[in-house]
Amino acid sequence: MTKTQNNDPKNTLVMKFGGTSVGTSEAMEKTLKIIDSAKNEWKNVVVVTSALSGVTNWLLKGAAKSSQGEMQSIYQADSEIRQAHEKIADKLICDQIRRKQVKQEISHLISDFINLCQAIAVLGEATPRAIDAVSSLGERMSVRLLAAALEDKGVAAQVVESTQLIVTDNCFQNAHPDFKATGKITKQVLQPVFNSGKIPIITGFIGSTPDGIVTTLGRGGSDYSAGIIAAALQADEVWIWTDVDGVMSADPRRVPHAQTIPELTYKEVAELAYFGAKVLHPKTIRPIVEAGINLRICNTFNPDHPGTRLIPDNHNNSKGAIKAVTTIEGQKLITVEGRGMLGVPGVAARAFAAVASTGTSVPLITQASSEQSICFAVPMEAADGVISALEDTFENEIIKRDIDRIWATDEVVIITMVGAGMIRTPGIAGRIFSALGNKKVNVIAIAQGSSEVSISMVVSQADANEGLMALHELILGEHQ
């Protein structure tokens, strides 16, 4: 599994920097140092970067407002985006000509943004394809700035747009890569860059269809880009640089005394990412595991901290059965119930087909309290549409009273406990429910993850924080 062992030469390292790691001149300066020192230790260093923090949000807001004819916000976005980049350029690029040139390139991309938004305003709608054309601009700006700042420090770097590397389908805003085509073309494009001694600075988040139309991999998708490119290059390691000390026992923004988890299995981190831990995009794991690549998550602002290392699923022998707790906010539970449902063929299949027809993903399906109901979570903004689709699908059953009711709860939160040791540890479920019960947190529904490394509980929005804190205390207790 592990490729870089003992004294083997270190060959290819892919490093991904998130928006906060390039969002200010202080942050980008740290990023420059990290890249510079990696190049002394590795034969090939590949850098994948996100847009500067906040930029993708500005771009998306601009596109959305333009579709409603509100042009004011694109001029605000123009000024915010320009300032963010220019401030960094002024601080980090000493060479006047280089600085002027990078500002011009960014200015051209901002003009593209304005033009696209004007077109959206004329049409009165922002199609998923148009949204991708707009939201991809942030990474196209950040790579230029980062490469110029590196060059200014004497580190040879070359901008590479991942539209040249990552081939995807045309599922805009959530495109799926064609791994075979991507593998071939990525090696072809990057090998000459390595040969020339330059570090490729690659846009995260974006790809393109075989016809060259820009797509994006979904919000937070730069982590996934790093995974895809690392797999294509058969890299030895991927390091994800972010703004916290690795994967922690809970989101440190919500649980201030959360602690770094030094080692996590691939399954555990996949489950954590899936159930809401934003620190890693959930799709990143698959290409990395399949290619047997090592993964580390580390802190740009504290680079000496070892962060979190991912280990193979069968190497888990760390202390404490439960490692982390995570939440997905803003959900509703939908229940389809009726005494006649037992006799109706294929109810579950039809129910989920109806949900799928609305384009909604279901993070959790719970064990029904009786066999006469099906219950699952959906994002709250999708709930009305899902209920209508279900009512259409089951029109006849509703008339015949085989199905009595299709309904949604108020807002709920999914809290998930993750740890590979949980299945082998007796009494875990009991301890989890006592911890919640002691704080009078009512569990509305429960589900066990299919990979058996997680247990999820659905609680009301009002109980979520208390529940999260109680469960985090339980984890800290287990690790003592």
Only one of the segments 50-58, 148-156, 227-235, 240-248 lies at the binding site for ligand ASP (rule: CB under 6 A); that segment is 50-58
248 binds, among ligand ADP, Mg ion, ligand ASP, none (CB under 5 to 8 A by kind): ligand ADP
Size of the site for ligand ADP (CB under 6 A): 20
279 binds, among Mg ion, ligand ASP, ligand ADP, none (CB under 5 to 8 A by kind): ligand ADP
**How far is the C-alpha of 155 from the C-alpha of 149, rounded, in Å?**
9
Give least dist CB 218 to Mg ion, A.
Answer: 11
Q: Which is nearer to ligand ASP, 222 or 249 (CB)?
A: 222
**How far is the C-alpha of 448 from the C-alpha of 471, rounded, in Å?**
16
**How far is the C-alpha of 191 from the C-alpha of 200, rounded, in Å?**
10
**Under a CB-based contact definition with an 8 Å cutoff, are residues 363 and 443 in contact?**
no
Q: Which of 21, 50, 215, 366 binds ligand ASP (CB under 6 A)?
A: 50
51 binds ligand ASP (CB under 6 A): yes
Q: Are strands 308-311 and 263-265 parallel, antiparallel or unpaired?
A: parallel
Give least dist CB 6 to ligand ADP, A.
Answer: 31
**Under a CB-based contact definition with an 8 Å cutoff, are residues 217 and 224 in contact?**
yes
467 binds Mg ion (CB under 5 A): no
**How far is the C-alpha of 70 from the C-alpha of 73, rounded, in Å?**
7
Classify residue 243 by its DSSP letter: S
Cβ neighbours of residue 301 closer than 8 Å, sequence gap 6 or more: 27, 30, 243
63 binds ligand ASP (CB under 6 A): no
Q: Which of 162, 222, 366, 373 binds ligand ASP (CB under 6 A)?
A: 222
Q: Which of 279, 295, 387, 389 binds ligand ADP (CB under 6 A)?
A: 279
244 binds, among ligand ASP, ligand ADP, Mg ion, none (CB under 5 to 8 A by kind): ligand ADP
Q: Are strands 12-17 and 237-242 parallel, antiparallel or unpaired?
A: parallel
Give least dist CB 271 to ligand ADP, A.
Answer: 11
Q: Which of 65, 113, 136, 138 binds ligand ASP (CB under 6 A)?
A: 138
219 binds ligand ADP (CB under 6 A): no
Residue with tokens 């339980």: 474
Written as one string, the DSSP assignment of 270-296 is: HHHHHTT-TTS-GGGHHHHHHTT-EEE
220 binds Mg ion (CB under 5 A): yes
136 binds ligand ASP (CB under 6 A): no
> Among residues 262, 311, 420, which one has the least CA distance to residue 2?
311
Cβ neighbours of residue 385 closer than 8 Å, sequence gap 6 or more: 358, 360
Only one of the segments 30-38, 161-169, 250-258, 329-337 lies at the binding site for ligand ADP (rule: CB under 6 A); that segment is 250-258
Residues contributing to the site for Mg ion (CB under 5 A): 18, 220
